[in-house]
C-alpha cells in the first residue's frame, strides 16, 4: 500500500519525529511505501515537489525542528468541490490509498470533512504549540514552547531585578492561555494573563505595586490573545493576520505602556514570538510525536479512517477527528485560579 503524509498549519517541534516514526514502522512492519506531500494541503492541490519517503530519507531528522515536508495554512475546502476533486486526482495519480494528516485545528478540520463527507481515507495526528486541541491530553510542540518561554522568564527575572523594572513577556496563544499558564507557573511569574479571562489593568497594577513593596521586580506573562476587561486595547491598524483576525497592537507593548502610565514604574516588553516554535523538540515532544507516528500507521493498517491518535494519560488512543476539532480546549477557570495564589 502507498501512504501519503502531510504537515499543515503553523509548524512546531516534533513534526519530523512523527514522519520518521510513521515511515519506519510502516516500511519495516507492513511493507508500505510513503509519499510526502509538500506544504500541507497546498501540495495535494498543486501536486508539486512530492517526495518519496523511505527509511534513508527520514534518517537523522528526529531532533530537527520544523518539517522536512514544509507547511502552509491552505484550506482546500475554501475552493469548494474543485479542491476536493484536485485532492482525489493527486492521490489517484500517486496511487495513495491512505493519508496521514499531521496538523492542528484547521488542517484536521479539513481531514475530518474529507474523510466523513467524501470518503477520502485520512488518519489525523494532532500538533500545535498551543495545546488547545480537544480529545488529547497534550499535543507535541507544547512542551518545547513552554520550556523556551520558561527559560526566557528565568533570564528576565535577573535583569528585571537589576533595574527594578516591570518586565512583560508576551507568549503565543491567540485563543488559549496554556503556554502562558504553564510557563508562568514554571518561571515564577507574578502575573499571568490568558485569553480565557479578561483582565483588569488596575488589578494588574495593584499586583505590580505590591511586588515592588517587597523589593522584588515583577514579571508579567501575557498570552497574545489576552484582552483587558473594559475592552480598551487599542488596535494599531486594521490589517488582518493570516487567520483573517484584526491584528492587535500587541497586548504586551500596550500593557507595558499602561503599567508605566498608571504606576509610574518603568516597564519593558519582550515578545517571544516564533522563537517558541523553532528549534529542536524537547525529549517529551520527541517521545509523544514518535508514539503518535507509530500509532497512526497502525490506524492505517486497521483501516480506521476518520480517526485521530490522541494521548490519554500514558496511552495512545483513537478518537474521531471531529472530536478534536469541534471545540477548542481552553484553560479551565479552576486551573487558572491555582495560579492566582502567586500573583503580586
**Catalytic residue list:** 130
* Least distance between ligand F6P and beta carbon 195 (Å): 10
By the rule CB under 6 A, 285 interacts with ligand F6P: no
User: Is there a contact between 13 and 54 (Cβ–Cβ < 8 Å)?
Assistant: no
Q: What is the rounded (10 degree) CA torsion for 230, 231, 236, 241? A: 150
The annotated binding site for substrate is made up of 128-130, 165, 172-174, 224, 268, 274-277
Binding-site annotation: residue ranges for Mg(2+): 105
Q: Which of residues 227-266 bind ligand F6P (CB under 6 A)?
A: 242
Q: How far is the CA of 313 from the CAs of 38, 130, 138, 310, 316, in angstroms? A: 33, 19, 9, 10, 8
208: cell is: 505590580
Q: Is 64 among the residues that bind ligand F6P (CB under 6 A)?
A: no
Minimum CB separation of residue 89 from ligand F6P in Å reads: 28
Which window, 108-116, 122-130, 202-210, 260-268, contacts ligand F6P (CB under 6 A)?
Answer: 122-130
Stretch that binds ligand F6P, among 76-84, 123-131, 203-211, 303-311 (CB under 6 A): 123-131
Nearer to ligand F6P, 7 or 50 (CB): 7
What minimum distance in Å lies between the beta carbon of 176 and ligand F6P?
Answer: 9
| Distance from C-alpha of 67 to C-alpha of 151, rounded to nearest angstrom | 24
Nearer to ligand F6P, 242 or 314 (CB): 242
Closest CA to 99 of 37, 174, 42: 37
Binding residues for ligand F6P restricted to 293-332, rule: CB under 6 A: none
Distance between start and end Cα atoms, the chain: 59
Cβ burial of 233 (10 Å; 0-12, 13-18, 19+) is middle
Residue 319's H or E segment, with its range, is strand 315-320
Nearer to ligand F6P, 139 or 190 (CB): 139
Q: Tell me the site size for ligand F6P, rule CB under 6 A.
A: 11
**Gap between the Cα atoms of 313 and 315, Å rounded:** 6
Please tell me whether residue 277 binds ligand F6P under the rule CB under 6 A.
yes
Is position 70 an interface residue for ligand F6P (rule: CB under 6 A)?
no
* Burial state string for 88-112 with b = 16 or more CB within 10 A and e = fewer than 16: eebbeebebebbbbbbbbbbbbbbb
Indicate the residue among 224 and 285 with the shorter CB distance to ligand F6P. Answer: 224
Q: Which residues contact 78 (CB under 8 A, 6 or more apart)?
A: none
Least Cβ distance, residue 133 to ligand F6P (angstroms): 10
Instruction: Say whether residue 128 binds ligand F6P (CB under 6 A).
Output: yes
Choice between 12 and 316, CB closer to ligand F6P: 12
Region 4-33 residues binding ligand F6P, contact defined as CB under 6 A: 10
Closer residue to ligand F6P in complex, CB, 129/191: 129
Evaluated on CA atoms 149, 151, 154, 155, the torsion sign reads: negative
Q: Which residue is nearest to ligand F6P (CB)?
A: 172
> Shortest distance, CB of residue 94 to ligand F6P, whole angstroms?
28
Window 130-189: residues binding ligand F6P (CB under 6 A): 130, 172-174
Residue 106: CB minimum distance to ligand F6P, A: 9
Beta-strand ranges (E) seen in the chain are 2-7, 33-36, 51-53, 96-103, 122-126, 166-171, 191-193, 219-223, 267-271, 307-312, 315-320
Cα 209 to Cα 187: distance, rounded to the nearest angstrom: 20
Which residues contribute to the site for ligand F6P (CB under 6 A)?
10, 104, 128-130, 172-174, 224, 242, 277
Amino acid at each position: 500500500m502507498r501512504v501519503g503524509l502531510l504537515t499543515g498549519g503553523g509548524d512546531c517541534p516534533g513534526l519530523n519525529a512523527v514522519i520518521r516514526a510513521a515511515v519506519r514502522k510502516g516500511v519495516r512492519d507492513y511493507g508500505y511505501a510513503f509519499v510526502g506531500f509538500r506544504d500541507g494541503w497546498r501540495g495535494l492541490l498543486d501536486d508539486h515537489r512530492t517526495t518519496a519517503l523511505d527509511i534513508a530519507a527520514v534518517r537523522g531528522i528526529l531532533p530537527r525542528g520544523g518539517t522536512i515536508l514544509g507547511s502552509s495554512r491552505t484550506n482546500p475546502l475554501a475552493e469548494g468541490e474543485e479542491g476536493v476533486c484536485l485532492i482525489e486526482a493527486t492521490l489517484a495519480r500517486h496511487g495513495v490509498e491512505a493519508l496521514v494528516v499531521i496538523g492542528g485545528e484547521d488542517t484536521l478540520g479539513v481531514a475530518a470533512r474529507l474523510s466523513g463527507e467524501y470518503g477520502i481515507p485520512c488518519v489525523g495526528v494532532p500538533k500545535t504549540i498551543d495545546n488547545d486541541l480537544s480529545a488529547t491530553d497534550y499535543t507535541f510542540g507544547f512542551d518545547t514552547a513552554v520550556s523556551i518561554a520558561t527559560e526566557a522568564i528565568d533570564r528576565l527575572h535577573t535583569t528585571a531585578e537589576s533595574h527594578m523594572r516591570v518586565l512583560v513577556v508576551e507568549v503565543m496563544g491567540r485563543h488559549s492561555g496554556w503556554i502562558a499558564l504553564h510557563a508562568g507557573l514554571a518561571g515564577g511569574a507574578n502575573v499571568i494573563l490568558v485569553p480565557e479571562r479578561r483582565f483588569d489593568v488596575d488589578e494588574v497594577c495593584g499586583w505590580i505595586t505590591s511586588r515592588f513593596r517587597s523589593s522584588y521586580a515583577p514579571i508579567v506573562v501575557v498570552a497574545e490573545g489576552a484582552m483587558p476587561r473594559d475592552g480598551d486595547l487599542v488596535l494599531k491598524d486594521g490589517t488582518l493576520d493570516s487567520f483573517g483576525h484584526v491584528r492587535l497592537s500587541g497586548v504586551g507593548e500596550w500593557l507595558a505602556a499602561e503599567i508605566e502610565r498608571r504606576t509610574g514604574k518603568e516597564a519593558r516588553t519582550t515578545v517571544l514570538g516564533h522563537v517558541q516554535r523553532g528549534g529542536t523538540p524537547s525529549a517529551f515532544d520527541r517521545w509523544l510525536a514518535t508514539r503518535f507516528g507509530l500509532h497512526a500507521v497502525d490506524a492505517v493498517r486497521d483501516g480506521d479512517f476518520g480517526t485521530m491518535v490522541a494521548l490519554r494519560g500514558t496511552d495512545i488512543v483513537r478518537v474521531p477527528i471531529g472530536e478534536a476539532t469541534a471545540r477548542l480546549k481552553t484553560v479551565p477557570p479552576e486551573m487558572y485560579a491555582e495560579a492566582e495564589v502567586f500573583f503580586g
